Amino acid sequence: MALDPQLLDLLLVALPKTDLHVHLDGSLRLSTLIDLARDRGVALPSFTEAGLREQVFKDHYADLPEYLAGFAWTCAVMQDEAALERVAYEFALDNFAEGVRYVEVRFAPQLHQRDGLDARGVLRAVNRGMVRAADEINATIPATEPEFRYGIVVCALRTFTEQFSAYYANLLRALSKSPRKRLAGLASLELAREAVWARDEEGIPVVGFDLAGQEDGFPAIDHQEAYAYALANFLHKTVHAGEAYGAESIFQAITALHADRVGHGYFLFSPERISDPRITDPAAYVERLAEYIADRRITIEVCITSNLQTNPSIGTVEAHAVRQMLDRRISVSICTDNRLMSATTVSRELGLAVRHARLTPRELRDIVIHGFKRSFYSGTYAEKRRYVRKVIDRCDRVLAEFGVSTLGEEGGRPLVDSQG
């Protein structure tokens, strides 16, 4: 039986959820951005939420550069510990308010470094905000229910300029004779070392290492040393790949960098975007890569709205590759990418998948649970198993309360009718 649209929205909020791919500097409250800018003398294009929505944080963007432009303003106000702590605290509360029980907050500490604030100070500040929010939230949750948990994923950049932050400007000045690609690799390695230190010496739940930025011309293999260090120190690994480049970028992420998950992965099924001349049969390459990913349960962190905004040529939600991923039995987690830039939530993103990728009840349940199972949970494996068991019990109770059954062939008929 198809669910009424309003009932579906209530169900999606009630379900326990994860967000495994969400950037802190892309997820501020607009009111907080304005407050911090006023306090710190940052000249925004507008000091009203409506004005910022019209000029910077839009429903539709012309291309990736326009989408990324807003980060100049959010990063500008996140250059001190108090701002970082406040943003992290509110970020956690906003996630829990829509039913997210586990979130991996990712950010690039080197974007927030300056004189007097190093990577360790950035990590401490964000963690303080997350701890404060988690303590407040968990005081309200019964012991039988899954508590609010989080992990921190540090993000390295494929490339950067002097304008990105004081840290990058200083690095480029100090090593001005070195090739840019070598400097990017060195910055990544330094960040990997700081991440392991924060986890091992301070107990900060740094659970993963990420690589973001322009794929074309800046291959992931330039950061192989940093990822080797992460691997040697048992730090989980994810890579932005296939977001704006072909399938060979995804292959490099999971082979050269040993990625446990892939961020976006949108162009996995686009043989026409393969540019490596050594790949003589792009269609066969894509088929084999998809099978490889499915067989090894490499989860793809899918961000539907973000993909549509940064790649307008996709056109519609129906054209998004998430349906192809599910049909190939690839492990998928639905994520937001940037709650502010994309004006979205996990519940909204799940709603897009349900309505436009025609999810069955079982597919919805699997996606929700895969998020928890494929998370970079900071506790022991035994602790993670117990936590996931609570999540599964909670998920099944919610589905039952809404009269949703996952039984039947292929997990039942789609949750919405053909009109969505």
What residues are labeled active site?
A: 243
Q: What backbone torsions phi and psi does residue 340 show, to the nearest 5 degrees?
A: -80, -55
Taking the C-alpha atoms of residue 409 and residue 81, their distance in angstroms, rounded to an integer, is 53
Stretch (H or E) spanning 253:
helix 247-255
Residue with tokens 């309505």: 355
Closest by Cα among 114, 105, 101 to 145: 101
Closest by Cα among 278, 232, 225, 222 to 252: 222
- CB crowding 170-206: b at 16 or more within 10 Å, else e: ebbeeeeeeeebebbbbbbbbbbebbbbbbeeeebbb
Using DSSP's 3-state secondary structure scheme, residue 256 falls into coil
- The one-letter amino acid at 380: T
Using DSSP's 3-state secondary structure scheme, residue 156 falls into strand
Closest by Cα among 194, 171, 173, 174 to 184: 171
Torsion sign (Cα): 104, 110, 113, 115 = positive
Helices H, strands E: what count in the chain? Answer: 17, 8
Q: CA triplet 348, 334, 271: central angle to 5 degrees?
A: 120
Residues 6+ apart with CB under 8 A from 23: 106, 107, 155, 337, 338
